Amino acid sequence: MNSAYLTTTTDAIDPVFMFIFGASLVLLVGITAAMVFFVVRYHRSRAPEPTSRAAGNLWLEIVWSVLPTLLVLAMFYYGWAGYLALRNVPTGAMEVTATASMWSWSFAYPNGKTSAKLYVPVNRPVRVELVSRDVIHGFYLPAFRVKRDVVPGMRNHAWFVATGPGSYDLFCSQYCGTGHSAMITTVEALPEAEFGAWLERKAAGEEPAGHELLEKHGCLGCHSLDGRPGIGPTFKGIWGRSTTVMSNGRERRITVDEAYLRRSLLEPNADVVKGFQPIMPPFAGVLKEGEIKAIIGYLRSGGIASPKLDGRKLAQEKGCLVCHSLDGSRGVGPTFKGLFGARVTVLKGRAKSTVTADEGYLRESIRQPGAAVVEGFQPVMPADPGLSDDEVTALVEFIEGLR
Ligand code: HEC
Ligand code: HEC
Ligand SMILES: [Cu+2]
């Protein structure tokens, strides 16, 4: 053990756990064995008459009162000592503030740097101040036996020390809404020198870059950068995208530009993207002007704009062409040739209807093949093989081009 601290949180918890577990195991086995023995030994067929008429036994009473009392007192003592070890942070601990918000973590270091993963030096205790921006979350580090609620409006803390370099899971242990299960990050324990270098990279006070701001403010808990659908729309290719929004209950189409992005950040509920819940928190008063500019700049930059996807290649790669031909011939599924704009008879359950194969129809056929099945074909098309929105768009555009 290192001399910088007396004990680790794991050292404080594991012996208590093993002691209580061991005592419970001994009692479980002992009591069950005695019970089985008595059932057999004193079965009515073996002992038709009561064998003992003892009215009391002082020694027995003393033993079965004193032993359990000592046992539970020992459990209490160990438990209390372990609890104190968890609450008393060793001196010289590094301070980090963990901010939980729906549905991500952000960690702030003494020099002002922030990160989405919790970076710590190996063999140095870390004191974590726990702050919630909205609802109750739970700061849970199974590897270090640390679990503490993060309650809005309440000061709380936890500490731990990583005794070896590595990556350890960090979970939210309180159900906090739709994105709860995605509220996962890691503790990255680095050797002291490497940690120092990491901490100094990008000196404090500098305007943090767009990506770091998205991490710091928890945007990435609801918005993906790679096109995956999330709680909010993906940021991939957002600049210049045309989107349907609900403004005051009216639907309208807009093109994403600077003014729209600014309004989305400051008053997210003014324009709510169709198909999403109005649950994005407003960032007016939270984001500084420079930060808003940096975020807009980042969303605008080519860094996350999607490269144009090749629909034909995609159809090949995703196996669509195994069942769908491009030359008008019938396969396991209808041909893609001339499909766009054609009239198609589909069965929804038993109900038959004729629809025009427009963009929306194609999209739905790809996303939910079972919902409407083309007449004359078996419902064997596999459900969505994990296509991103952009990939579906590219496929639809490819089919449109085969008129
Ligand atoms: C709790 C989840 C959540 C968080 C955190 C969140 N958003 Fe959102 N955001 C949403 C949802 C849901 C929508 C869609 C509904 C709407 O428009 O209000 C949205 C919409 C948007 C839009 C409009 C998107 C479009 O396609 O038109 C932008 C831009 C945006 N968010 C940026 C951000 C930024 C930047 C942050 C961090 C500073 C952030 N959001 C944090 C949930 C979230
Ligand atoms: C295992 C074979 C199979 C694969 C693989 C498959 N499909 Fe299909 N698909 C079908 C069948 C059968 C139908 C007709 C029955 C139905 O509507 O479910 C169909 C229907 C469709 C329709 C509606 C066609 C119409 O005439 O109205 C579209 C669009 C479509 N598929 C696109 C795709 C795309 C894009 C892919 C690749 C991501 C794909 N399919 C992969 C078998 C398949
Ligand atoms: Cu949570």
Digits of tens for pLDDT over the chain (403 positions)? 344 455 788 888 999 999 999 999 999 999 999 999 999 988 888 877 777 778 888 999 999 999 999 999 999 999 998 899 888 898 888 999 999 988 889 899 988 888 888 999 999 999 999 999 889 999 999 999 999 999 999 989 999 999 989 999 999 999 998 888 888 999 999 998 889 888 887 644 444 577 778 888 888 888 888 887 788 898 888 888 888 898 888 888 888 888 899 889 988 888 899 888 888 888 888 888 888 888 888 887 754 544 556 788 888 777 788 888 888 888 888 999 889 889 999 988 888 899 999 888 998 888 888 888 999 898 888 876 677 777 888 888 889 888 7
Domain-located, residue 3: no
**Phi/psi at 110 (5° precision):** -55, -30
pLDDT value, residue 92: 85
Pair (296, 329) in one structural domain: no
Detail the DSSP E strand segments found in 142-273.
146-150, 156-160, 166-172, 185-190, 242-247, 250-255, 272-273
pLDDT value, residue 6: 59
| 274 CB neighbour count, 10 Å cutoff | 13
CATH code, domain carrying 282: 1.10.760.10
- Please give the distance, rounded to the nearest whole angstrom, from the Cα atom of residue 356 to the centre of ligand 2: 16
Q: Which atom of ligand 2 is nearest to the CA of 379?
A: 18
Q: Say if ligand 2 is within 6 A of residue 392 CB.
A: no
- Contact between 398 and 311 (Cβ < 8 Å): yes
Pair (297, 315) in one structural domain: no
Protein residue whose Cα sits closest to atom 21 of ligand 1: 264
- Contact between 157 and 150 (Cβ < 8 Å): no
Q: Say if ligand 1 is within 6 A of residue 174 CB.
A: no
Domain-located, residue 323: yes
- Please give the distance, rounded to the nearest whole angstrom, from the Cα atom of residue 366 to the centre of ligand 2: 7
- Please give the distance, rounded to the nearest whole angstrom, from the Cα atom of residue 315 to the centre of ligand 2: 11
List the domain range (segments joined by +) for residue 365. 311-400
Residue at a domain's end among 26, 58, 87: 87
How many domains does the structure of the chain reveal?
Answer: 4
Distance of alpha carbon 119 from alpha carbon 200, whole angstroms? 12
Pair (262, 342) in one structural domain: no
Pair (99, 75) in one structural domain: no
Q: Say if ligand 1 is within 6 A of residue 254 CB.
A: no
pLDDT value, residue 381: 84
Please report, to the nearest 10 degrees, the dihedral formed by the alpha carbons of residues 82, 83, 85, 87 taken in order. 170
Protein residue whose Cα sits closest to atom 34 of ligand 2: 320
Ligand showing the shortest atom-to-Cα distance for residue 278: 1
Residue at a domain's end among 239, 274, 304: 304
- Contact between 96 and 48 (Cβ < 8 Å): no
Domain-located, residue 354: yes
Pair (218, 192) in one structural domain: no
Pair (120, 190) in one structural domain: yes
Pair (100, 171) in one structural domain: yes
- Amino acid 15 reads P
- Please give the distance, rounded to the nearest whole angstrom, from the Cα atom of residue 101 to the centre of ligand 3: 7
Q: Which atom of ligand 1 is nearest to the CA of 256?
A: 27
Cα distances from 303 to residues 5, 81, 235, in angstroms, run 44, 52, 11
- Contact between 383 and 389 (Cβ < 8 Å): no
Task: Kindly state the tokens that stand for 295.
Answer: 């975020």
pLDDT value, residue 140: 96
- Please give the distance, rounded to the nearest whole angstrom, from the Cα atom of residue 231 to the centre of ligand 1: 8
| CB contact set of 269 (below 8 Å; sequence gap of 6+) | 278, 280, 282
Pair (59, 22) in one structural domain: yes
This model's pTM is above 0.85 = no
| 273 CB neighbour count, 10 Å cutoff | 17
| CB contact set of 4 (below 8 Å; sequence gap of 6+) | 90, 92, 123, 124, 125
Pair (171, 252) in one structural domain: no
pLDDT value, residue 304: 53
Q: Say if ligand 2 is within 6 A of residue 138 CB.
A: no
Residue at a domain's end among 304, 336, 358: 304
Task: Kindly state the tokens that stand for 213.
Answer: 């701001």
Report the SS3 class of residue 246. Answer: strand
* Residue in 219, 257, 261 to alter for ligand 1 test, most ligand atoms within 8 A of Cβ: 219
- Please give the distance, rounded to the nearest whole angstrom, from the Cα atom of residue 210 to the centre of ligand 2: 40
Pair (299, 319) in one structural domain: no
Distance of alpha carbon 92 from alpha carbon 218, whole angstroms? 30
Pair (299, 315) in one structural domain: no
Domain-located, residue 205: no
Q: Say if ligand 1 is within 6 A of residue 210 CB.
A: no
Pair (349, 380) in one structural domain: yes
